[in-house]
Amino acid sequence: MLADASGLVEKIKRAAIEAQEASKPVTICFGEVVCEAPLRIKVEQKLILGERQLILTGNVMDYVTTVSTDWETEAQDGGVDGAAALHTHRITGKRQITVHNGLHVGESVIMIRQQEGQRFVVLDRTGGRL
């Protein structure tokens, strides 16, 4: 009979944990970047989040990506010894580029607090200062 009681207790514990998690829905919040390196974002008057608490998306961080290129440069003066000779160059193929999308001090961001409340996903800039 004791084994049945412990199984019931485990089910009750599991139900309590699920109810507690359900009561903490995802929260959208706004913040302001107060430091770039290391990244720190102020969420409220007193709460400043550090890098360990932040999950960044590509919208708010530098990253390297590959792009396809197919263009011709603008005409350049390539003259030698005073003789003018305009020329262009064709650039084709795949190239790696760095997108400089990192956050800067003073920028406002929109974030989602994870259900546990310990980590925040930084989605994007809001376009203004708080």
Residue 120 three-state SS: strand
The reply to whether the predicted model has a pTM over 0.75 is no
Domains of the chain: 27-62+100-130 (2.40.50.140), 64-99 (no CATH)
Instruction: Write the pLDDT tens digit of every residue in 88-99.
Output: 888 899 999 999
- Indicate the range of 7-16, 58-67, 89-98, 117-126 predicted with least confidence: 7-16
Residues 6+ apart with CB under 8 A from 60: 101, 102, 103, 109, 122, 123, 124, 125
* Predicted pLDDT at 130: 47
